[in-house]
Chain A
Amino acid sequence: MKKIYVKEEWCLGCHLCEFECAYANSGIGNIVLALKDKEIDPNVKVLSDGKITFAVSCRHCDEPLCISACISGALSKDETGAVMVDRSKCVGCGSCVMVCPYGAVRITKEGTANKCQLCMNNSCGEPLCARKCPNGAIVYEEK
């Protein structure tokens, strides 16, 4: 399936992806209105090991532990194989957080789980982080 891959050698640590992600998932059409004076909690996070930076978001595993641990059915795979979240089902038990080896699922301040859904759940249709990465460090492709 088409997934997000990260080429860390090209990551500039500019953090644009985080803001584009926040915008993409804001449900607001204008990027300024979406981000202005807002604390962002994006599904992609730029991390660093002290030497190099890289963006981390859900890997959409073939056999996702988060789904096998989810007691509420909030996490499931769609037909493409992407791992999606139905936050209306989530009870916020945090089992997914407990098992995700990438630390890519989180419980938001609303108390339910959230994660990257490849912008399938918003109006972008393809991951905005990849489209907007200035240096090809985040790509969305078939492998």
Chain B
Amino acid sequence: MLLEGEFRNPAGCAISAIFDKTGARFSGESIIDSIAVMRDRSNGLGGGFACYGIYPDKKDLYAFHVFFTIHSARKDFEEYISRYYEIDSSEDIPTRKIPEIVDEPEIRRYFVYPKQKYIDFVKTGPDECVFRTVFAVNTEIKGAYIFSSGKNMGIFKAVGFPEDVGRFYMLDSYEGYLFTAHGRYPTNTPGWWGGAHPFGLLGLSVVHNGEISSYDANRRAMEMYGYKCTLLTDTEVITYILDYLTRKKGLTFTESAEVIAAPFWSRIDRMSEEEKARATYLRDVFSAELVTGPFSIIVGFDGGVMALNDRLKLRTLAVAEKGDKVYMASEEAAIRRVCPSFDKMFYAEGGKPIVYRVKGGKQ
């Protein structure tokens, strides 16, 4: 059987997120409860979490979360990055042995920063260094896979139901200002940990529910821009698109949303001249980054979160606010479970991004 990444693997999913607008940190326990409610949207073949603000003491360092699936991999990996990075520290990611999670690879994390001469060589800054390293490692070092590479954030994922994955990684012992979760329902069973979601690159993480019809158009565009799609998943390509638009092209998340889930021409043609020019520009210039077909995504980024539905609203996504807390989930029930009474609650409209940022900017 082909492994994840060797073929395109459509999947149905459950997604969920909890965010604190003040940036106050809270335990990862509640996100587990929330995603657990949507168990039947997953099928035990993948679950995971993206947690922001969990490494306050090392918040200026890049936290690499890495799977090693073969013995030699770890040695090759450490040899490789010690060449380009100052390694602050590294450790096994603590896990709780439970019967539901089996066949675990070696799972480690490294807190690192690019060496100055590497930064000078790359010229476009430390993020670009990490960007290159992630692709180099994931494509060139057999058995090693970096699945989280941001600062003061981390992705935890595995093959299994999300709530089990949460307990496996002891999320209850982490505190952060944003947690996103994903339960996967792939339409076959490669059972590879790297294939689970969230998918992340640098500070970006994406959980996604849906199957996009524009996939190959997006993928080929991204590959032209130097992204290597190794997983052939929607989540992966959407992550790259967001990275490309925000980090490389300097669009805001709202502008990026206008590219990914662009307004219809019929609406654009009714806009004011200035608006029309802007919208037309974005659609024309970034036509290859338009994403069609059903999706609802929750994007985690350094200091905020964005929820977005496809332009036709072919997937559901509920959002609720209670005090400083914001809750997002594929199903309202998943919110009510952890927040029985909220101040307000609504559903994301097609193509209308919902963005929350930590008050006073970055954490």
Give yes or no for direct A-B contact (beta carbon below 8 Å): no
Which B residues have a C-beta under 8 Å from some C-beta of A? none
